[in-house]
Structure 1
Amino acid sequence: MEQPKPPSRSPSFPASKTFGEDAEVTSALSSSSSAPPSAGGNLRNKLTRKKSVLVAFESIFSKDRKPVEEDDTCAFIPEGCASSFDLPPQKTARIPAALGSQQSFRLLHVYHLIGITFFAVTSGPFGFESTVGAAGPVLMQVGLLLFQILWSAPLALMTAELSCMIPLSGGHVLWIYRAFGPFWSFVNSCFAFTCSVLDNAVYAVLFVEFLSSLLYGDSHRISHAWSVVLRVLVIILITVLNIVGIRIIGVTALVLTVAVLSPFAAMLIWGLPRLNFKWIHGQTPQHIELGRFITMLLWNSSGFDGAGNIASEVESPASSYPRALAASVILIFAVYGLPSLIGVSILPDYNEWKRGAYMIAAKLIGGRTLQIWMGLSEVLSAVGLLLTRICINSRVIYGMSLVEQVPVFTWLHPRFGTPWISILTTSILTLLLAEFNFYSLAEADMMFYAMSTMLKFCALVQLRFTEPDAFRPFRIPVSRNILAGMIAAVLGYLLKELLPHYGKKAEEVVQQRVARVQQNIERMQQWIDLVTAKEFKIINTRASDITDCIEMSAAQSSTASFRPQNDSFKEALDSEC
């Protein structure tokens, strides 16, 4: 009987001691041989796919990698890349064998990734108005251009290189783990996940407030009970969509991107005849709030690294990530810059630029219709933010579970292949924290995000030095020394600008605390003086009472001794008479 021939490019997987899945997979595959062909094939594909992910993870993070010439079957070369005999023989194999079997998980195309990245970073120009109020329209346009070059582009390039190098769900958790080990990866994960859950809670609250403004304006607000019901319903809906699959998240994000940007496109078309540049010579703030201005620019230009959390669910990451992130940088610059040009032409006074400025400009350009359209876009932007953030933030917990920092979150849904335990955990925490108001956490979140981003950039440089020959389908086209110098310069500049701002705030806080402590001490001293005065008054009162008692006793005793003497004198006088 002729034996079946094995596939020509079927990789052979070594025994996985870490995960202990080989015996289970082998027994399941052998037991499925008696099943019908379709059922057996489906079971075989599912189990092979599960094993492929685990072996891929173990291959990537294993420190004892085999050379290419020792086991040629463990090296998988994707299409379009150099073949194995083109690699230098002394290099180690950086390409996991099982990554080729993960294609069934990669359901996102470039345009889906653009939609997810858009909501991971911005969700529209909403919230950008305060940058004009902080520094004026001229400095806003200059700062926006500089920050796209010095901040957004480096973030996007870093995400593209590391996501293509480590194409697994978990993103920066796994990047930092590979570069610096478990401790700094855990620190980064705690910072990132805590801030992300708090941000999710803010977006849930913003959804209700935007909906209330759309329905009632400023005259009325949705009641607290209905607010809770709406938050619960929208979080449940978004959780279900996330569990159903990553493809529906990508499609929904793309549709919401078009819906959110449509009123701004209408504002650009209708407001183009009113475009002018008088604002260049207009008023500028006498006192520029530079710290607030930089913080808002950073806040509205951050989040590109979140797209790397879903790398294992992207089709052809080597080509998808560079194209999607480059398009996202250009799109976000246009989303901030073009509506602002029309807006400052309509509202040249920087004092009018605060939350709701785009609504006023839309009403002046297109009337009540465009204003309502803009309000609906604002509501949809909050939905898109919450949808995308729960998606990418749940992969942070999933990545932590892959490196054994948290338990059980590696479980994938048996039908949809999504990390449903991580998604449920993220949604439940968001639902619990959505009851509170977290507007004051924006600057604190930015500090945590800045520390996490420093670790990500340091991981990029560290991997360039420690693993110079690692397989990188996309590579930032600069040498590692230049890359280290550029990143050090950017981070140094950011520290120079941010630390005085936060240091000044810290100094003010310390002074306020010292003043409060001094007031408390003075208040305590006044109380002590009052109590002491009362005690002295009581003592003086009692002392005077005691003195009076003594005097009365002395007087009574002297009177009592004088009476007997008078009686004896009277008796003697009577006897003489």
Structure 2
Amino acid sequence: MEDEEPLHLGTTIKEQPKSTQKLALLPLVFLIYFEVAGGPYGEEPAVRSAGPLLAILGFLIFPFIWSIPEALVTAELATTFPGNGGFVIWAHQAFGPFWGSLMGFWKFLSGVINLASYPVLCIDYLKLVFPVLSSGFPHYLAVLVSTFVLSYLNYTGLTIVGYTAVILGVVSLCPFIVMSLISVPKIDPARWMSLGEKGVKKDWSLFFNTLFWNLNFWDNASTLAGEVENPQKTFPKALFSAGILTCFGYLVPLLAVTGSIPLDQEKWVDGYFANAAEIIAGNWLKIWMELGAVLSVIGLFEAQLSSCAYQFLGMADLGIIPRSFGARSKAFNTPWVGILVSMIIALAISYLNFTDIISSVNFLYSLGMLLEFASFLWLRRKMPAIKRPFRVPLEMLGLVIMCLIPSGFLIYVMVVANSTVFCVSALLTVLGIMWYFLMKLCKSRDWCTFTTSEGSSEEDHHLVTR
């Protein structure tokens, strides 16, 4: 039997302008790295919640039960359906337009709300140097300006963003490398065996959430697949390389600090690595690490905004949203509407106290991941002979087991959510369903022009059939 060909959707069949520069391997590696990690910043609560030994084991073992399955699913599906939109295309191919639309709504919402936190976090670091930015009008103005500047950088092109991510990644990791090298003579391996200080209660919810959010989002870069040079070969290599970089980026500093400094568990909160750097090497390294944190946040913002914008473009190419929403700039060929919409939503949310909203969006992200695993398994059964440039080397039973373990963790994260999160998540999901039927109504009434699954607009289709 000949290999089936996938139904090409949107950018998979549209010819890109010849001047378009495709994303090469190295910048894609660092974009994936920033989608997932962006540096060791944020892993400190794992030590506070469970002690050094369990934190080390967590970052050593958790990639095998969560990150690797997610990365393998991404590698197979992104190379089989290499179009902008990523997971939206997968759900659309597996279960139809309704589930594709709902997947897009869940994931886009989780992406832009995560995006909203990065300018605020960036200003939180800068206010240590410039106290005037701590509150009031200067704080709000700084968030506004930083959001516009960083969004404009994204507008100038994915290639520029990709190589910027390379520079930001290398520079932000340098202080951790220096700290780790300086700490070597001070390391006492016995400190790694500690389960925590006596009297400090284990916080399992914080522990697992810290691992989850520091080793997540491997699939986000799939929304850029249509912009990648030779995605069938490049994506698996990039995912593998980013995985190695991420694991070492977390483990090496964690081993260095827990092994060289006596444990004071209550101090292990976000930002503790900067204080540890001061203890190990002096104030100069602390300042360098805080600067690295700012650069890391910039990289996180750029990678997340790229993912959101190209997902938006992919949804327009699939006909989930009007074709005009997928417009590209003539100067840089970037999806300027996707960038603008993502920026406006993120900017509006950044001025709110949105703790419960973020928790709710994390809930929706978990729903999206369950749908993604289901799409992966169903496509294996629905299209067994389709050409898969990268194929997870397991049969169906092995694939079910591979997806079942991380799915169990997703269900655990959802079950422990509070009632507010359940209510907000349900409301947002209902809005997503209403959006699908609103778009369906717009199509039936010809209120907007949509792209058909064959890649041409419905307006063009009417011209042909008249």
Secondary structure of the corresponding residue to residue 227 of structure 1: helix
Q: Distance in 1 between matches of 2:65 and 2:129?
A: 37
Please, which of 144, 168, 186 is the counterpart of residue 232 of structure 1? 144
Counterparts of 1:522-533 in structure 2, within 5 Å, are none
Q: Deviations over 1:308-363 (max 9, x none)?
A: 01001110111111111011111111111111111112142322211221011100
Q: Deviations over 1:388-445 (max 9, x none)?
A: 1111111222222222222221212223221111111111222222222334544333
Residue of structure 1 in register with 2:155 after alignment: 243
Residue of structure 1 in register with 2:452 after alignment: none
Q: Distance in 2 between matches of 1:263 and 1:205?
A: 23
Query: TM-score if structure 1 supplies the norm length?
Result: 0.68
Task: Establish whether residue 264 from structure 1 lines up as the match of residue 176 from structure 2.
Answer: yes
Give the residue type in structure 2 aligned to 1:271: S
Q: Deviations over 1:230-250 (max 9, x none)?
A: 222222222222222110010
Aligned partners of 1:390 and 1:426 also within 8 Å: yes
Counterparts of 1:279-290 in structure 2, within 5 Å, are 279-282=191-194, 284=196, 287-290=201-204
Distance 1:186 1:130, change over 3 A: same
Question: Higher relative CO (CA 8 A, sep ≥ 6), structure 1 or 2?
Answer: 2
Task: Establish whether residue 309 from structure 1 lines up as the match of residue 309 from structure 2.
Answer: no
Give the residue type in structure 2 aligned to 1:159: T
Task: Establish whether residue 492 from structure 1 lines up as the match of residue 408 from structure 2.
Answer: yes
Q: Distance in 1 between matches of 2:146 and 2:251?
A: 31
Distance 1:483 1:283, change over 3 A: closer
Secondary structure of the corresponding residue to residue 127 of structure 2: helix
What is the CA-CA distance between 1:501 and the residue it aligns to?
3.0
Q: Distance in 2 between matches of 1:133 and 1:199?
A: 24
Secondary structure of the corresponding residue to residue 319 of structure 2: coil
Q: Distance in 2 between matches of 1:485 and 1:256?
A: 37
Aligned partners of 2:110 and 2:365 also within 8 Å: yes
Please, which of 340, 343, 360 is the counterpart of residue 424 of structure 1? 340
Distance 1:507 1:418, change over 3 A: closer
What is the CA-CA distance between 1:364 and the residue it aligns to?
0.6
Residue of structure 1 in register with 2:391 after alignment: 475
Aligned partners of 1:170 and 1:310 also within 8 Å: yes
Q: Deviations over 1:191-248 (max 9, x none)?
A: 11112111111111111111102444xxx75342222222222222222222221100
Residue of structure 1 in register with 2:42 after alignment: 127
Aligned partners of 1:135 and 1:290 also within 8 Å: yes
Aligned partners of 1:295 and 1:443 also within 8 Å: no
**Can you give the 5+ residue segments of structure 1 that lack an aligned partner in the other structure?**
1-87, 511-577
Q: Deviations over 1:446-488 (max 9, x none)?
A: 2221111111111111110001111211111111332123212
Counterparts of 1:158-307 in structure 2, within 5 Å, are 158-216=73-131, 221-282=133-194, 284=196, 287-307=201-221
Task: Establish whether residue 447 from structure 1 lines up as the match of residue 359 from structure 2.
Answer: no
Q: Distance in 2 between matches of 1:272 and 1:341?
A: 10
Give the residue type in structure 2 aligned to 1:454: L
Aligned partners of 1:155 and 1:304 also within 8 Å: yes
What is the CA-CA distance between 1:167 and the residue it aligns to?
0.8
Q: Which structure has the larger Rg? A: 1
Distance 1:203 1:471, change over 3 A: same
What is the CA-CA distance between 1:169 and the residue it aligns to?
0.8
Q: Distance in 2 between matches of 1:428 and 1:508?
A: 24
Choose 133-142 or 99-108, whichever is displaced more: 99-108
Distance 1:465 1:208, change over 3 A: same
Q: Deviations over 1:146-202 (max 9, x none)?
A: 211111111111111111111111111111111111111222211111121111111
Query: TM-score if structure 2 supplies the norm length?
Result: 0.84
Aligned partners of 1:207 and 1:379 also within 8 Å: yes
What is the CA-CA distance between 1:109 and the residue it aligns to?
0.8
Choose 472-481 or 93-102, whichever is displaced more: 93-102
**Can you give the 5+ residue segments of structure 2 that lack an aligned partner in the other structure?**
424-466
